[in-house]
Each structure stands twice: as C-alpha cells, then as structure tokens.
Structure 1
Amino acid sequence: MGEFWPVPDALAYLGGSWRVRRSVRDLASGATGEFGGTTRFEPLAGDGPPGGLLHHESGTFVWQGVARPAERTLRFLPGPGGTADVRFADGRPFHDLDLTSGRHIADHPCAADLYRGEFTVRDADHWRTVWRVRGPAKDLVLTTEYAREP
C-alpha cells in the first residue's frame, strides 16, 4: 500500500466523529502546546447546500501548562469531483480540499501571515493535517492526527 490513501469523495469520507490530537509548536519562542478532543462532521442544517457538512471541534487546549476549553466550527461544502470548499463558520473562504490522491496542499493568507496546510489520508480511519504558519507575527507548526471513532 502507498503512503497516501486516495479518497474519491472528501465529504463522504469525513462524515462522522473523529478523535483529535494536535500539537502546536511556536518555532520563534520554543513554546509548545497540545489540543485533545473530538471533531464531528454532521450534515448542514437547512441554511447550507445539500451534501455539505458542519465541522465542530471541541476539547481542551493546553498552552504552557494552562488548560482551557477550546472549540471551532467550519463548513465543508461540496466542490467539483468529490472535493470540498472549506469555509469559516461565518461563510468566509478558508481553503479548498481535494483528497482524491490522498494528499492535498492548501494555502490560506491571513493578514500578513500565510497558512499552508498539508492534508494526508492514511487509511479509512486515519488522516492528518500539518499547518505551517509564517509571517511577521507567527512562526508555527500545528500537527493534527485524526482517528475515526467507532
């Protein structure tokens, strides 16, 4: 089996609940943190296009020894050919997502910073994202491992 697991339909693959472990490294200061929790991909309610998913992540983020609850919401909308159009909760564009080869690179400019995400699918129940954030205010690496919940 190859290094990547091709996914013909990103939204069909992502649907359901996933356990999440994320490490955060600030390359400038050396500070580290981690997030642990759950991500759920559920059908969008009546305000979204058919087939779209609401992504809701919740858990605990520990930064420099201080634990805090954390959550975020994204919208994953159907794109052409089994891809997805990822949006922030308020509808602003975030990035595209094409997992047909099992690997995808996406860029998101945010003010003067650039977020570059690498998405890799390992198998039917495991995928990963690595976001590298560079700019005048940030120098971060965020690595997230997802494992499907039974």
Structure 2
Amino acid sequence: MANSNNSTGQDLGTALISRNGSPSSLEDFWGAWQLNRQILQNSGETFLFAGQANFTWLDSHLLYHESGLVTGPDRRALQAERTYVWRQQAGGKIDVLFDDNRYFHTFSAAEPCAEHLCGDDHYVVNYVFDHWPRWESTWQVKGPRKDYKMISLYQRA
C-alpha cells in the first residue's frame, strides 16, 4: 500500500491520511483508486463509468490516469480513458492540468470548488472529502453544447 521510495523522498505510509482527515498534498492521492461515475444528461439519459484511477509520480507531480468502461442507456459499453497532471501549490492547493499541460482548474480540501470555461460551456466542480480516503467530485456542465451532471466516487483499490 505505502511506498517510501517515491520521487519526493517522503514516507507515503504516513502521508496517506492527513492529520485532519482530509487530503492536504499530492501524497494523499498517490496510488490506485476504484472509480465509479454517473453521467446524468439533462435529457434524462444516464451513462455509467466503472474503472480505476491511478495516480503515479512524474517528477514532483502526479499523473492521473483513469480507464474503464462507459455503459450507455442502450447498455452498450465502450472503453474510455483520460489523463491529467496534478501539480502541488502552496497552502494545500492542487493545480489540475490537461495531459498537454494546459491549465484546467485549482482546488484544495479547504477550497473544494472550482470553475473552468471551455468556449461557451461552463464547468463547475465540487470535491467532497468528508469521508476520506473515500472522496467524490461532482461536475455540473452547462452551455450550448453540453448540459449534464457527472458524479465520480473514488475509494482505495
């Protein structure tokens, strides 16, 4: 579970759960997570994602990679994956970047909400760490091209 031989040189065995029961640094997210997601379209259709999210060290950052199956309302399943870079900032803040290093958003356990504009589409996320190390993110996406709510639940694999 814990590995003291990581690129930051810190002991992850003690970093997995911070003192206040919420994540405070990248070390808290390191490792494998079971990921279950609901994508609730405004049209009433629901898509389900089941898979895994892995946080691995890339220099002093974490590479977030998720992969799994998305099942649509017609019960057809498709393989899906995505990658982000998580970068530590001061005060427990974490920058999330797209895999090409473009900025996406910033959050922390103390400031768990963030926004992102993609053209005319508006993305708002709320992270919930009340039951750490189980956590969730809820995205509300509205715009001319998109209108859905996406709820992702993470727990240690």
Query: What is the alpha-carbon distance in structure 2 between the residues aligned to residue 133 and residue 115 of structure 1?
Result: 5
CA RMSD of the aligned region, Å? 1.5
1:134 and 2:151 are equivalent in the alignment: no
Return structure 1 stretches of 4+ with deviation > 6 angstroms: none
Query: What is the alpha-carbon distance in structure 2 between the residues aligned to residue 5 and residue 130 of structure 1?
Result: 20
The letter for the 1-side match of 2:127 is F
The equivalent position to 1:36 in structure 2, one of 46, 50, 58, is 50
1:24 and 2:34 are equivalent in the alignment: no
C-alpha displacement of 1:131: 0.1
8 A contact 2:22–2:132 mirrored in 1: no
1:6 and 2:22 are equivalent in the alignment: yes
The equivalent position to 1:114 in structure 2, one of 111, 122, 128, is 122
The letter for the 1-side match of 2:23 is V
Q: Percent identity?
A: 33
The letter for the 2-side match of 1:79 is Q
More strand by share: 1
Compare relative contact order (CA 8 Å, sep 6+) and give the higher one, 1 or 2.
1
1:92 and 2:106 are equivalent in the alignment: no
Give the secondary structure class of the aligned counterpart of 1:12.
Answer: helix
Aligned residues: 137
Q: Deviations over 1:37-93 (max 9, x none)?
A: 00000001xxxxx42100000000112221000000000011112221100001111
- CA, structure 1 residues 141+5, in 2 after alignment: closer, same or farther (shift >3 Å)? farther
The letter for the 1-side match of 2:137 is T
Under a length normalisation based on structure 1, what TM-score does the superposition of the two structures give?
0.86
Structure 2: gaps (5+ residues): 1-19
Q: Deviations over 1:13-60 (max 9, x none)?
A: 111110000000111x1111000000000001xxxxx42100000000
Under a length normalisation based on structure 2, what TM-score does the superposition of the two structures give?
0.82
Query: What is the alpha-carbon distance in structure 1 between the residues aligned to residue 92 and residue 28 of structure 2?
Result: 10
C-alpha displacement of 1:5: 4.5
The letter for the 1-side match of 2:27 is A
Query: What is the alpha-carbon distance in structure 2 between the residues aligned to residue 91 and residue 123 of structure 1?
Result: 30
8 A contact 2:64–2:84 mirrored in 1: yes
Structure 1: gaps (5+ residues): 45-49
